[in-house]
Structure 1
Amino acid sequence: MQKDVVKSTARRLFAFAMVVLLLSQVAMSVIAWAYFENNLLPEMDRKAATVGHLTRGQLQTALDLGIPFDQLAGTQEYFNDILKENPDIGYLAVSAPDGRVLYHSGIDARALEQNIAGVAATVAQRSARDIAKVETTSITADLGGGVSDYSNVAQPVTHQGETVGVLHVGVDEQFIRKRIDDIVFDIGIVLVTSLLIAFELLLFVSTLGLIGPMRLMTTLLGDLSKGRFGHTATAGATADFSRITAALNARVEQVNAAYRRVAQALESLPAASRARFDGDFGETMGGVRQRFGLAADGVAAQLRAVNLVDVRLLTFLFMSGEFLSRPFFPLYVKGVMEPIPGVSDALLMGLPITVFMLMHVLMTPFAARLIGTSGTRRAYIIGAAVSAAGLLGTGFAVSLYDLILWRMLSGAGYAIMFMACQAYVVANTAPENRAQGIAMFVSGLMAAEVCAPAVGGILADRIGFNLVFVLGALIAAGSAFLAARQLQADVPSTAGGAKRSGSVTAATKDLLRNPRFAATVLFAAVPAKLLLTGFLFFLAPVYLTELGATQSEIGRYLMTYGIANVLLASLFARWVDGRGFHVGAVFVGGTITGLALLLGMAWSDPRIVLVGIIVMGIAHALSISAQLALVSGVSRKEIAVHGDATVLAVFRLIERFGSAAGPFVMGLFVTAWGTGAAMAAGGALGMISIAAFILVFVMTRTRPSAGVNDTPAPVGGAST
């Protein structure tokens, strides 16, 4: 009852704070959107006027040198260079006063002549006093690239006091509207990510400063109300909680001290005298101790809150630092590397991702031993520090070779941190609430999956790739600093299974002899991870860049994977567990992923890539947690022999080889057939694999498989 009061109070306060944050963020977003919409087009017109002044100055310099106005060689090439450097400028043209186009770039001359004759005449007839003014008009026409809206900024070109021509600078208003749309999307992304970040920080602060102390206090008050004085509580995070807790602790210690004084007085009696009290008095002292929950030595045990929200925030921070570079990492590799004869660029671009994932696999056993000897707190700090160093080095890499070394370092740190967080959850939860603890950890990871790619894409467009890596390193280092302050020191690590872990090698042999386990891991789990890293981490950024998407757009596209997971994973997990639909969920998830990626063969469009990303997010929300429950169900015999922790470790180990192979396999597909066909080839691979999976289950349907839903799957589908 007391815990319910704490929970309901905390929820109301938390909801109120989030509503206030939401309203303030929405208001700021609307104001920012209105400001950009009202000011961007006039600002672009001013830029066009500036470009016009500079260009007109070059033309007039040529005229002053005696070059005839109709013989300005190289003018079109000069205009082409200006347009390349200014994508917001739709065209440049010089017309005679009567509207005939003499020089142009970016347009069809005849189409422009039909729209500027009046403007040219107006500008040409101005007096000397008004010669510096510009004439801005709107044009809606097909000027060579389809019908579009242009803002035409016209300025006179003069020679010896006479207007000899008119310079036209056209601002493509469709380009401006697209920029406004991009800004609106960026504002929306900032709104969503800022709310998620605020949620994580508010959850951490409220748990640390309010919910945790309140729970300890209510537990202590509950004991005292029952006349039990066996526990004290740690001091609260605020002065008020500390003062109240200290007063309650003092009362507990007074009672225990009184009991201790009586017990010590009895012990100090001579043996002959003490013998007379050992009977009834001794029984009375024992009864008092049991009735009031007193410690045998008279020293009350201390209640200490273990807040898994710590590890949730740490996971969110670390993963955010690592995921910031996801929208542009293959392109960054392309900019750093030098071509290697006989090896395609696609393979080289995917190589650092493969190395990173491979280090995650190979470092996992070392990470487990490090946690066993150093504790989760120290292991997390080591992992975060190593990863921060790797991210910083990645940002300043000068060749593919040192980039690979830095990514190896980041992969090692990532593996240590990931294992440390899992071990911390296992060490601080009981079997009955372990699923909730894992859900807390996965929630932090998925929040980073939503926030970081979108923010990284926006930042990459504005500050460059290198500084994004520096920011990621700072975030990872900050998580190490926070872990040093918040995580309990030297928490013992356990395997997390009911059975003692057995030999991984022996378990692997036994499990791979089980056709249903082999089908689940080789034909469902490995292809799912292969397509995740191959498509989402590697191919999607490369393909979207080829299709003209900006880094901000790529980040927005990639974040939809995390959004689908966050919104649907818990819902799907409950639905699948309730119906025992684990085999069907894995099959449906693999099938719809394959079908979505096959669309890459039919259309070369960024929206098709977006569909593939969203469908993959939905499919993984449906199938990843079902895979874990399915493994527990089809491997009951092996679990009885080797333990559930060992069986899960074998499953994860084999699965992660798919993660490592993904970029390499997709690189081969790109080399052979190109990016669009590579996306479709990935879909075909997924379809063939999932067909083999279901075929094995159909062929072995007489094999007992009851219990696939006995073990609930963790909430969420982590992408690592």
Structure 2
Amino acid sequence: MSLIVRIWIALIGVIAATLGVLSILSILQHDAILSQLIRQRLAVTVEATARPFRSVVDLGLPVSMMRNKLALLERARASDAAISDVVLFNPTGTVVEQSGSGKVERVAQEVIDVQAKDVAGRWGFETDRNLISGTSILGEDGVVVGGILAVYPKSELDARSASVAQQIVVGAIGLFVLFTGIAYLMVRARVDAVGGGLRRLEGTLAAFGGTSTETLAAAGRHKGRVLPEQITLALAKLQEQLDDATEKYRQALQALGSEEVDASAHASTGPRETVLVGVPERAATRSFARRLTPAIAVLTLGSALALGYLVYLSISDSFRPEIARRTQLIGSIATADIQRSVEAGVPVDGLVGAAEYFSHLLTDFPEISYFAVLTDRPVIEVGQAQVSGGADRTVFPILVDGVRIGELVTETNLDYIAAQFRDVVLDLGVVVLVILLFAFELMVVMMSRSVTGPLDRLQHLAELQAAGDFSKRLVATGRNVVERLGNLLSERAERLNVLAAAAVRRSAAGVDRSHAVAPEPGFRLSGCRPALMRFCSLTDVRLPLFLFAMADELPLSFFSLYARAQANPFTSLGVGVVIGLPLAAYLGAALLGAPLARPFGQRIGYRRLFIAAALATFFAKLGLYLAGNIVEVIVCHGVNGLAFALASLACQDYALDMLPKEARSRSISLFRATLFSGVFAATALGGILADRLGQRPVFAVCAILSVVSALLIWRMLPVGGSTPNAEQSSEAEDKLSFNILAPMRSPIFAAVALGSVIPLAIVDHVFISYLLALQMDALGASISEIARVMMFFFLALILGGYAEGRLPAKLAAPTPLLTACSIIAGLSLLIAGLFPSTWSTAAASIGAGFALGLAGGPQTALVMDAAEGPLAHLGTSAVLGTIRVIERGGAITGLLVIGSMTDTAGYSGAVGTIGMTALAGAGLFVILRLAGSEAAISGRSG
């Protein structure tokens, strides 16, 4: 299989995954929004039906005293032929009256639960078969005295969903065919740009086809040919190494004797040693990556955007009739009310209270911007008519004895319609962004497996043999010229080791065969079978880490709401504290698991450790899916925190231990970027899934993702082998200290820990992970809106970290920068607490994220200054371990304290308190830094 075809197949996989996942998520998103729109239309009918019952309640009578209650319910049911039932029930759930044929004595318990949680009086939900929309009837004291609900079968929703799904799938298939064809042309053009280098490798392989001295001499003469201009420097370097390896092989043959030997017959039958080799990216692989990455980005982004546009058109066509039906229904209800008054003898000009009635309609139903009652002139006008036109105007006749005496005019609210489609575009944008992040990680893996990995392995083996080391070989593959060259070099190593073994057998008895046999100085042979090299890279863990981070963080946008809804046996504790207990358990378990990750990884292997942690996450997420009370949620979330710490640190330690020292810094940067990308994608996607599937099924999705990540680790990480070439971290030899107060003797450490780390940890873990969802839910935001705000937090966090590394020296000084970070975070949260709204909360999230991103670098710099300076006697691991304990301990303490405040100060007050804590931390940090500086000056003066 040619290299072009392999790259093309890899791209086909990326495009197929991009279009497939985007199609599924788009269909789910369409169904979620359409379900909401239908329930909102039902709410129009339910709200109109509830008005007469509220009038009876205002007189101090129960809802059952309404004489014509059945007629009112029947009229509501007749307003839409698809409505199967309209039910009036009392606060205990007992049915007072219903219009449907199937009589029941009580409504489902789910109705009572949903009604009890809704403070606005309007509520709705979806079951397997029906859409339910209801409204509560409240007494003068605000207590629920009854409710009305409408039942709407999901057949219409399912039919529209099937139609939209068909359009999306057909569009996805067409785009897949189109973009795979474009991909082949683009790959061929990009690879042909270095085609001379590949043809040179093909020529080298042809020259290597024999093993005689004449063939080897021909290969040696091939070295002197002039390289064509189009061959990149990277491939030219690889060619030189292959030629040098050939020269060394010829010299070894001459030294050992070039007689024909059957390698398979004389090779040792004992077990072959396996060695793990970590290699950084080579010039050749970077050359291919630079040439192919733009094409891959264009194909992935282009296919995603093209399908996104088709999805938007399909969803728009599906939504517009529904919105039109809603406005038509509102106008029909208003016209019917006016018609009854006119038929009762009230003249159109004398409709008392009509303006107030229409004003209430405009407030209750924002999809209408204008009501007017007209005869030969405007009698009543409420709202603002569109001057420039463009709004859909609907006219409803007002009749008396069949004679038209006037008309009711309505206009749709264009801003409301635009807002509905803006939400669609935002959600689709989020989905496309998530898909692109996933596609990027998938692309990295597939390119590594198809192109960069084989090139790296070939170049490493060529370097070894060019230096005279024939003691190792590659795994046999042979699917393209690069891999066939690797096979040929491996066969050379096998042949030379067989010849060396034969030479040993001919030598005097007593020779120790366990030592390397060298035909002359500068050569290295194993003396038996060449060791099999298994290559390690960060690519081995990138995609599993990305998916595992998604599995961990998908519920973040609604987890506090999920915990609040659980049965609470801790009746003596405040609700705010109980909601925070699962997160406290998560943080505490992660803190305990962090020091165990490295010892366990070195003992059982990072591969087994990750798989064990992923399976623990599977059972934890499954437990959260099945949880029936807050105790089960606390236990399962604690296991989840322990598993996440072990799995993420297993991936990090794998990168540290398996890769060369010079590649560590870049690998850790890529590791963090991958981790944050997974968290970012999960936060954005989790809210959309929860809005469509419900909260519990999201935990099932998390469980599936954790198993998928475990399977990828099992497939991609090497098994066994001797210690890799990477040097072990010296920090592994440090002993952890459990004396938390010992590092506090350093003024630098104390200032950072107390003035920056703890306050910003409270901002991160308490405001973002705990309070943000509760605050926005109280402001009326949906889960998908909460998810978008959290997404902006992580985006600001990433941008803040990026900006921190590019600040000029004057602005990057750790002390003023950390002070500024705490002030930015504190002011953002304080403003959100004083002026609570969706926009202020979103701004606080962005400000906090940017501040936390900026603070990461200076915090680490100051802690490391303390660890390498006044705290050097404790060891770096002890200092870093202490700061982690302080960070998590401060977050847990802050979580419990702030949680207890929410019951009295409310969510806005708690947000403001966190802001003041960050500002106080900034002041404390400055004071301690100044005190430390003065103490240092006094010490030097003394």
**Contact kept in structure 2, 1:510 and 1:638, CA below 8 Å:** no
**Aligned counterpart, 1:592:** 824
Indicate how the Cα distance of structure 1 residues 608 and 5 shifts in structure 2: closer, same or farther if over 3 A, else same: same
Distance 1:578 1:208 in 2: 44
User: Is residue 265 from structure 1 mapped to residue 491 from structure 2 by the alignment?
Assistant: no
**Aligned counterpart, 1:450:** 680
Indicate how the Cα distance of structure 1 residues 544 and 289 shifts in structure 2: closer, same or farther if over 3 A, else same: farther
**One of 373, 376, 387 as aligned partner of 1:117:** 373
User: Is residue 487 from structure 1 mapped to residue 691 from structure 2 by the alignment?
Assistant: no
Distance 1:215 1:110 in 2: 69
Q: CA deviation at 1:668?
A: 2.8
**Aligned counterpart, 2:940:** none
Distance 1:173 1:247 in 2: 70
**Aligned counterpart, 2:434:** 193
**Contact kept in structure 2, 1:100 and 1:117, CA below 8 Å:** no
Task: For residues 169-189 of structure 1, give each alpha carbon's deviation from its aligned partner in whole angstroms, at most 9, with x where no partner exists.
Answer: 875443322111111111211
User: Is residue 335 from structure 1 mapped to residue 565 from structure 2 by the alignment?
Assistant: yes
Indicate how the Cα distance of structure 1 residues 456 and 237 shifts in structure 2: closer, same or farther if over 3 A, else same: farther
**Aligned counterpart, 2:545:** 315
Letter in 1 for 2:778: E
Q: How does 1:334-483 map to 2 (within 5 A)?
A: 334-338=564-568, 341-483=571-713
Q: CA deviation at 1:533?
A: 0.9
Distance 2:935 2:475 in 1: 54
Percent of residue pairs identical: 24
- TM-score calculated relative to the size of structure 1: 0.79
**Contact kept in structure 2, 1:534 and 1:665, CA below 8 Å:** no
User: Is residue 181 from structure 1 mapped to residue 403 from structure 2 by the alignment?
Assistant: no
Distance 2:893 2:369 in 1: 58
Q: CA deviation at 1:97?
A: 8.1
What secondary structure sits across from 1:302 in the alignment?
Answer: strand
Indicate how the Cα distance of structure 1 residues 224 and 97 shifts in structure 2: closer, same or farther if over 3 A, else same: farther
**Aligned counterpart, 1:9:** 288
Indicate how the Cα distance of structure 1 residues 590 and 198 shifts in structure 2: closer, same or farther if over 3 A, else same: same
**Contact kept in structure 2, 1:323 and 1:449, CA below 8 Å:** yes
**One of 747, 750, 761 as aligned partner of 1:515:** 747
Distance 2:307 2:492 in 1: 51
**Contact kept in structure 2, 1:458 and 1:552, CA below 8 Å:** yes
Q: How does 1:83-102 map to 2 (within 5 A)?
A: none
User: Is residue 505 from structure 1 mapped to residue 784 from structure 2 by the alignment?
Assistant: no
> After the TM superposition, which of the residue ranges 248-257 and 231-240 deviates more from structure 2?
231-240
**Aligned counterpart, 2:805:** 573
Indicate how the Cα distance of structure 1 residues 601 and 617 shifts in structure 2: closer, same or farther if over 3 A, else same: closer
Specify every segment of 5 or more residues in structure 2 that has no aligned partner in the other structure, as ranges.
Answer: 1-236, 239-281, 363-367, 938-942
Distance 1:675 1:41 in 2: 37
**Aligned counterpart, 1:136:** none
What secondary structure sits across from 1:234 in the alignment?
Answer: coil
What secondary structure sits across from 2:532 in the alignment?
Answer: strand
Distance 2:616 2:672 in 1: 22
Q: CA deviation at 1:536?
A: 0.8
What secondary structure sits across from 2:733 in the alignment?
Answer: coil
**Contact kept in structure 2, 1:589 and 1:619, CA below 8 Å:** yes
**Aligned counterpart, 1:526:** 758
Q: CA deviation at 1:635?
A: 2.4
**Contact kept in structure 2, 1:208 and 1:237, CA below 8 Å:** no
Q: CA deviation at 1:559?
A: 0.9
**Aligned counterpart, 1:663:** 895
What secondary structure sits across from 1:642 in the alignment?
Answer: coil
**Contact kept in structure 1, 2:831 and 2:840, CA below 8 Å:** yes
**Contact kept in structure 1, 2:371 and 2:383, CA below 8 Å:** no
**Aligned counterpart, 1:290:** 521
Indicate how the Cα distance of structure 1 residues 6 and 422 shifts in structure 2: closer, same or farther if over 3 A, else same: closer
**One of 698, 701, 706 as aligned partner of 2:930:** 698
Indicate how the Cα distance of structure 1 residues 650 and 263 shifts in structure 2: closer, same or farther if over 3 A, else same: same
**One of 627, 650, 659 as aligned partner of 2:859:** 627
What secondary structure sits across from 2:620 in the alignment?
Answer: helix
> After the TM superposition, which of the residue ranges 259-268 and 523-532 deviates more from structure 2?
259-268
User: Is residue 545 from structure 1 mapped to residue 777 from structure 2 by the alignment?
Assistant: yes
> After the TM superposition, which of the residue ranges 663-672 and 204-213 deviates more from structure 2?
663-672
**Contact kept in structure 2, 1:573 and 1:626, CA below 8 Å:** no
User: Is residue 674 from structure 1 mapped to residue 906 from structure 2 by the alignment?
Assistant: yes
Indicate how the Cα distance of structure 1 residues 502 and 341 shifts in structure 2: closer, same or farther if over 3 A, else same: closer
Distance 2:935 2:457 in 1: 50
**Contact kept in structure 2, 1:591 and 1:690, CA below 8 Å:** yes
Letter in 2 for 1:419: L
Indicate how the Cα distance of structure 1 residues 558 and 383 shifts in structure 2: closer, same or farther if over 3 A, else same: same
Task: For residues 501-556 of structure 1, give each alpha carbon's deviation from its aligned partner in whole angstroms, at most 9, with x where no partner exists.
Answer: 224125x3431222221221222112211110111111111111222222222111
Q: CA deviation at 1:409?
A: 2.0
Q: CA deviation at 1:656?
A: 1.6
Q: CA deviation at 1:266?
A: 0.8
**Contact kept in structure 1, 2:458 and 2:483, CA below 8 Å:** no
Distance 2:525 2:810 in 1: 45
Distance 1:15 1:317 in 2: 24
**One of 348, 358, 361 as aligned partner of 1:107:** 358
- TM-score calculated relative to the size of structure 2: 0.62
Distance 2:369 2:879 in 1: 76
**Aligned counterpart, 1:207:** 448
Letter in 2 for 1:292: F
| RMSD between superposed Cα atoms in Å | 4.0
Task: For residues 281-333 of structure 1, give each alpha carbon's deviation from its aligned partner in whole angstroms, at most 9, with x where no partner exists.
Answer: x9xx97634323333x2533333321112222222111111111111111112
**Aligned counterpart, 1:63:** none
What secondary structure sits across from 1:478 in the alignment?
Answer: helix
**One of 14, 18, 23 as aligned partner of 2:297:** 18
What secondary structure sits across from 1:304 in the alignment?
Answer: strand
**Aligned counterpart, 2:189:** none
Letter in 2 for 1:291: G
What secondary structure sits across from 1:117 in the alignment?
Answer: strand
**Aligned counterpart, 1:129:** none
**Contact kept in structure 1, 2:547 and 2:705, CA below 8 Å:** yes
